[in-house]
Each structure stands twice: as structure tokens, then as C-alpha cells.
């Protein structure tokens, strides 16, 4: 499974959307169930799966899925 596939699986599982397509411009506002708790769950799952730890400023900088991709790449995760 590629890193991108792992990432998509996390989003789909947390948001309970098995068909969710991850596009860079996607925001929490675009998806039902994507509340602050889901946001945190995604971050925590990604931290576990990819062995990284974000700080609060990273979290605040995420406005859409594309921002999150960039953040992960900054932490050395190849997508």
C-alpha cells in the first residue's frame, strides 16, 4: 500500500465515507461528519501510521487536504 493509499484509507475510515476522493482543495466544510473531533482523529491516525508528531501550529495551518499533503511532505513522508 502506498503512502497516498494509506492516507486515503484513514480519511475514509474516520469520516465513514468509503468512496471519498481526496482532492487537494477538499475542506472539512465539504464533507458531512467532518467536525473537529474527526479532524483530530485524522491527525492522530496519520501520526501513528507515519511515525510523525505535529505541533499545534501545524494543525492550525491546515486549511484543506492539499495543505495536509504539503505538511506531510515537510515531515519527510513521500506522497
Sign of the torsion angle spanned by Cα atoms 55, 56, 57, 63: positive
Helix-, strand-, coil-residue percentages of the chain, each rounded to 5: 60, 0, 40
Closest CB 14 distance from other proteins, rounded Å:
11
Q: Which of residues 8-67 bind other proteins (CB under 8 A)?
A: 27-29, 34-41, 43-44, 56, 59-60, 63
Place of cell 491527525: 43
**Is residue 1 a contact point for other proteins (CB under 8 A)?**
no
The contact set with other proteins (CB under 8 A) reads: 27-29, 34-41, 43-44, 56, 59-60, 63
Amino acid at each position: 500500500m502506498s503512502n497516498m493509499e494509506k492516507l486515503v484509507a484513514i480519511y475514509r475510515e474516520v469520516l465513514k465515507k468509503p468512496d471519498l476522493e481526496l482532492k487537494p482543495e477538499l475542506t472539512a466544510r465539504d464533507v458531512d461528519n467532518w467536525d473537529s473531533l474527526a479532524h483530530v482523529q485524522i491527525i492522530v491516525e496519520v501520526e501513528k501510521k507515519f511515525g510523525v508528531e505535529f505541533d499545534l501550529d501545524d494543525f492550525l495551518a491546515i486549511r484543506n487536504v492539499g495543505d495536509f499533503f504539503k505538511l506531510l511532505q515537510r515531515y519527510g513522508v513521500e506522497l
